[in-house]
Amino acid sequence: RIAMMGQYDRLRNQLLGKIEIKKGNRVLDMASGTGYLAERLGVVDLVCTDISIDMIRRARAKSKGDFVLADAHRLPFKDGVFDAAVSSFAMHEVAQPCDVMSEMFRVLGTGGEIAVMDVVQQTRFSKKVLLEIFHTFVEMRTATYVDISELRDAFKAADGFNVQWEMFDLVALVWGKKRG
């Protein structure tokens, strides 16, 4: 939170504002961490995943929903079972962001919406800035700073998605809807 200079709430509200989540929708919060988005999603059938049992415990303590210990590269869900999928500030924590995006696309049903937000590298300079900021404030020695083109390309590679994106300084928000 410190590294985002107090912008987490504003940015995550932007993420949730890009997709339409209705009462009764089945929503995947991929790599949900402490359950920040789960707290705000309220009246949906929410499934939160994380690879860390500690994060699952923390999220479960403050949020409602189903919590599943899972590797984002191999989600334990059937194809097309979610109406929406979100991921907030998690792609830099995974080994293969494009593979994770493919998994999110796979579990999304026809007409489903997806929104992904993370800190991204746009240039060599921004990569250097990211390394300095994050390594100063938080322990992220293994972070894989996602290139903005990786996120856009992952959406474009997924057949049948309308893709939009927006930048907020060093944070990218990419969202789309699965055509059917």
Show me where the domains of the chain are located.
Answer: 2-178
What was the pLDDT predicted at 127?
Answer: 55
Mean pLDDT, each 10-residue run in order, the chain (180 residues): 59 88 92 86 85 94 90 96 93 83 92 89 58 52 62 72 80 86
Q: What is the dihedral of CA 58, 5, 141, 121, to 10 degrees?
A: 120
Q: Are 11 and 30 in contact (CB under 8 A)?
A: no
Q: Which CATH number fits domain 2-178: 3.40.50.150, 3.90.650.10, 3.40.50.300, 3.10.105.10?
A: 3.40.50.150
First-last CA distance in the chain: 38
Per-residue pLDDT, 6: 62
pLDDT (0 to 100) of residue 152: 73
DSSP-assigned beta bridge partners for residue 58: none
The predicted pLDDT at position 66 comes to 92
How are beta strands 161-168 and 171-178 bridged, if at all?
Answer: antiparallel
Task: Give pLDDT, residue 168.
Answer: 78
Tell me how far the alpha carbon of residue 131 is from its chain's centroid: 20
What is the predicted pLDDT for the residue at 43?
64
The per-residue pLDDT for 142 is 47
Q: Give CA–CA dist 141/77, Å, rounded.
A: 30
The burial of 98, by beta-carbon neighbours within 10 Å (0-12 exposed, 13-18 middle, 19 or more buried), is given as middle
pLDDT at 79: 97
Q: Which residue has the tokens 């339409």?
A: 20
pLDDT for res 119: 79
